[in-house]
């Protein structure tokens, strides 16, 4: 599926359930949707800003116009389930005119195209609700294609009817497999479909304008986007949700609300059952019934999930390891505020046992690069920051007689660039940390601000596909200086800098509210001259869980800036031998070959991969139930093998896992523990091998 339709255009996932069964679809009043004067002024400013100040200077021409058309259609109908070939043929007259519409400030074609979509969607909803009058036969062997994002457009209404017949049947089968009786199935689906029509009829001129302008910004690169005046206000609310609520950043993918990121230190993170890419299909308040939210607008789902601190919210979730025909799980969370203390760097001391003996490894987990800007501005002596907290931890660790330090940056999406620079300075004596090139081509080098060094012992850094931005700067610097061995998965690959501009500051009249524009203004480069953009940081020792790394992060985004390079900065590396890291890698590969923990993890990774590659799903109930049983049994078998290896009792079913009191019972904590323990063993091997390099030669002989 195109990542473009998963991110910038959440507006196309349409929302909230209404009461009543077999509600009548009422066609919307074809009142004129036209561009307002505010939108005309906003368009003028957006075109100017992107032409003059964006890092990627792209000419607004016919080629861009064709791309805008494609992305606008993709935004409105990402699954190609509403529009027909005849509609697209009619839209061809705009194919090379949208660039002129933007430059001439005449953007009414965007509204004309949208009105056709609105008509087609209402027709589809009426057809779907009529289908609910009949009984579905789940004993017929046929298949449904859930993801039509790259399929051919329907040639006529008959083809659309067949697509929707299978869609409605699949929706009904999903609910049947989830335990809903026939009356409940009809009730849930009739409300779901009716709300699609209701919601499309409520689209305002601002909604349509934002969708169209974002089709334009997405032709430049994926981190440039426009927020209308209403979306700007909602954006602030959603940002506060990340700090108070369940602690999860959400987005819309087709008609599902998908977890984009679990916020460190929040209820979802501490609970451990909600994971990135899980799909939220229902939301309940306390003991109240769960409300189906498939097809809801993102803001309305957020409103249901958000609530006062201390109250309980229940989520019905389709895990990322299951396709759209998979089994659901129920997660109960107590809403709470995410406190700075819970996001702060924390330490844990582990015993890593290898063939060379037992070693004491200190793990420092850094969920984000944070700083108390207000405290710093006030001159508070004890204001909190990543670097200050890690410095304090390192001072405390001197009393523990540790053999090495492992910095865990998994899931760290970035934060303060200054903190990434200062944190690097704790582990090197002096030198450059990162290079920043602006849109004019000028390069600025950020140096370690502190000439001292806090810790000069053995060091490793653990990263994954969600380690981004500031995390990549720190990990890249540690790798370039040969200061640490990098372990884990290739990182996200976001090496760009964005600026948010309030367009209302440039309004001609005080009453104008023109929204906000976020656009890319600079790019990061490592001190070796290579960009972190696109490629990310590739670990020295890559975990086998990274089998689909090329489908993750910046590498999967359309129009992402490519990898690039500049002249290396002037710096001096340490003398960590390549042979030492190679020997540690061979030890790691040998160790995990028959490891029950990695057997479990790789089985889950494979399940996710298979679900992602499954193009069609069966509409035969017996086959679907059989496949679900196979998936559940496979997970349970792998989990029990690991539990037995750790001296734990076997589980009767996966529901028993949620009732266990130990951290090992939690799937996310289990994966976390397995990977962190192996990273500690890798560092222990490096420590042993560096103390006696004769072990490297002996190891090579043994391997032969």
Catalytic residue (one of 480, 540, 680, 685): 480
Catalytic residue (one of 166, 169, 320, 494): 494
Residue 345, SS3? Answer: coil
- Tell the burial category of 378 from Cβ atoms under 10 Å away from its Cβ (0-12, 13-18, 19+): exposed
Helices (H) and strands (E) in the chain, counts: 23, 21
CA distance 118 to 96: 23
| 225 among known catalytic residues | no
CA distance 561 to 435: 17
CA distance 43 to 699: 65
Catalytic residue (one of 385, 416, 469, 531): 469
Token readout for 354 is: 């290898």
Token readout for 692 is: 């006696």
Length of the chain equals: 704
CA distance 268 to 49: 38
Quote the distance between the C-alpha of residue 23 and its chain's center.
Answer: 36
CA distance 503 to 272: 40
CA distance 686 to 675: 17
Going by C-alpha positions, the residue among 479, 238, 482, 457 that lies closest to residue 362 is: 457
How many other C-beta atoms are found inside a 10 Å radius of the C-beta of residue 400? 11
Token readout for 16 is: 């909230």
| 494 among known catalytic residues | yes
First to last CA, the chain: 45
Token readout for 570 is: 């002037």
How many other C-beta atoms are found inside a 10 Å radius of the C-beta of residue 633? 12
In this structure, what DSSP letter does residue 70 have? H
Token readout for 297 is: 């607008």
| 38 among known catalytic residues | no
Phi/psi-derived region of residue 309, left when phi > 0, alpha when psi is between -120 and 50, beta in every other case: beta
The string over 583-610, giving b where at least 16 C-beta atoms fall within 10 Å of a residue's C-beta and e elsewhere, is bbbbbbeebbeebbbbbbbbbbbebbee
Going by C-alpha positions, the residue among 209, 215, 334 that lies closest to residue 269 is: 334
Directed axis angle between helix 108-131 and helix 62-76, to 10°?
30
User: What is the sign of the dihedral through the CA atoms of 418, 413, 538 and 273?
Assistant: positive
The string over 3-26, giving b where at least 16 C-beta atoms fall within 10 Å of a residue's C-beta and e elsewhere, is bbbbbbbbbbbbbbbeeeeebebe
Going by C-alpha positions, the residue among 395, 459, 398, 388 that lies closest to residue 423 is: 388
Q: Which residues are catalytic?
A: 469, 480, 494
């Amino acid at each position: 599926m195109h990542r473009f339709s998963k991110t910038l255009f959440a507006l196309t996932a349409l929302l909230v359930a209404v009461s009543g069964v077999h509600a009548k679809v009422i066609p919307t009043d074809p009142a004129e949707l036209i561009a307002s004067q505010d939108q005309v002024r906003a368009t003028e400013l957006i075109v100017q800003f992107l032409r003059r100040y964006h890092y990627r200077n792209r000419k607004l021409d016919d080629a861009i116009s064709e791309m805008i058309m494609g992305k606008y259609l993709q935004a409105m109908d990402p699954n190609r389930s509403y529009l027909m070939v005849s509609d697209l043929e009619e839209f061809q007259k705009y194919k090379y005119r949208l660039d002129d519409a933007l430059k001439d400030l005449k953007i009414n074609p965007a509204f004309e195209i949208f009105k056709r979509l609105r008509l087609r969607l209402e027709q589809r909803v009426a057809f779907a609700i009529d289908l609910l009058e009949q009984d579905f036969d789940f004993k017929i062997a046929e298949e449904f294609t859930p993801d039509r994002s790259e399929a051919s457009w329907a040639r006529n209404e008959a083809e659309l009817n067949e697509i929707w017949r299978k869609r409605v049947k699949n929706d009904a089968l999903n609910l049947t497999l989830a335990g809903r009786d026939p009356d409940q199935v009809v009730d849930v689906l009739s409300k779901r479909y009716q709300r699609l029509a209701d919601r499309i009829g409520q689209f305002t001129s601002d909604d349509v304008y934002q969708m169209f302008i974002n089709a334009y910004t997405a032709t430049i690169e994926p981190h440039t986007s426009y927020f209308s005046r209403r979306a700007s206000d909602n954006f602030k609310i959603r940002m506060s949700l990340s700090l108070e609520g369940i602690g999860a950043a959400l987005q819309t993918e087709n008609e599902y609300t998908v977890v984009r990121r679990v916020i460190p230190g929040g209820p979802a993170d501490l609970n451990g059952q909600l994971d990135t890419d899980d799909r939220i299909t229902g939301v309940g308040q306390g003991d109240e019934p769960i409300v189906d939210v498939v097809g809801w607008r993102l803001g309305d789902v957020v409103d249901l999930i958000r609530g006062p601190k201390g109250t309980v919210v229940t989520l019905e979730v389709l895990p990322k390891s299951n396709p759209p025909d998979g089994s659901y799980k129920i997660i109960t969370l107590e809403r709470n505020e995410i406190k700075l203390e819970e996001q702060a760097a924390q330490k844990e001391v582990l015993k890593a046992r290898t063939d060379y003996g037992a070693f004491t490894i200190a793990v420092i987990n850094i969920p984000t690069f944070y700083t108390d800007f207000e405290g710093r501005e006030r001159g508070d002596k004890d204001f909190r920051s990543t670097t200050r907290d890690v410095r304090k931890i390192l001072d405390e660790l001197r009393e523990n007689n540790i053999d090495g330090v492992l910095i865990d940056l998994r899931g760290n999406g970035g934060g303060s660039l200054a903190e990434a620079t200062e944190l690097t300075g704790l582990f090197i004596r002096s030198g450059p940390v990162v290079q920043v090139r602006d849109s004019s081509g000028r390069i600025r080098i950020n140096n370690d601000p502190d000439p001292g060094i806090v810790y000069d012992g053995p060091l490793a850094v653990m990263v994954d596909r969600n380690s981004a931005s500031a995390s990549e700067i720190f990990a890249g610097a540690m790798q370039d200086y040969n200061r640490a061995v990098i372990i884990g998965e290739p990182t996200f690959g976001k090496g760009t800098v964005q600026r948010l501009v309030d367009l209302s500051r440039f309004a001609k009249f005080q009453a104008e509210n023109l929204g906000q524009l976020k656009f890319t203004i600079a790019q990061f480069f490592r001190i070796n001259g290579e960009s972190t953009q696109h490629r990310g940081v590739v670990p020295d020792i890559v975990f086998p869980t990274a089998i689909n790394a090329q489908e993750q992060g910046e590498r999967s985004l359309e129009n992402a800036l490519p990898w690039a390079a500049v002249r290396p900065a002037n710096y001096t590396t340490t003398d960590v031998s390549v042979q030492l890291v190679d020997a540690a890698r061979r030890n790691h590969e040998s160790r995990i070959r028959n490891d029950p923990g990695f057997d479990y993890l790789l089985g889950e990774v494979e399940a996710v991969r298979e679900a992602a590659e499954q193009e069609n799903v069966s509409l035969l109930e017996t086959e679907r139930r059989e496949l679900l049983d196979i998936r559940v049994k496979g997970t349970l078998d792998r989990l029990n093998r690991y539990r037995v290896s750790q001296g734990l009792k076997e589980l009767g079913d996966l529901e028993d896992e949620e009732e266990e009191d130990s951290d090992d019972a939690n799937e996310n904590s289990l994966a976390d523990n397995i990977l962190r323990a192996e990273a500690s063993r890798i560092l222990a091997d490096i420590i042993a091998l560096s103390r006696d390099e004769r072990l490297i030669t002996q190891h090579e002989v043994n391997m032969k």
